[in-house]
Amino acid sequence: METKPLREFHKNKTKKDGLQTMCKDCSKENSKKQYMEDRKKRIKYVENWQKNNPEKTREYRRKREGSRKYKEYKREYMREYMRRYTQTERYREHRRQYMREYYLKKEEGRASESRLTGVLAVVGNRIRSFVLE
User: Which parts of this chain interact with Zn ion (CB under 5 A)?
Assistant: 23, 26
- Cβ distance 132 to 119 under 8 Å? yes
**Shortest separation between residue 51's beta carbon and Zn ion, angstroms:** 40
H/E stretch holding 20? strand 19-23
What is the DSSP code string of 63-87?
HHHHSHHHHHHHHHHHHHHHHHHTT
**Shortest separation between residue 27's beta carbon and Zn ion, angstroms:** 8
**Shortest separation between residue 23's beta carbon and Zn ion, angstroms:** 3
**Amino acid making up residue 78:** M
Complex with Zn ion: residue 9 or 103, whichever CB lies closer: 9
Complex with Zn ion: residue 23 or 121, whichever CB lies closer: 23
**Amino acid making up residue 80:** E
Complex with Zn ion: residue 28 or 39, whichever CB lies closer: 28
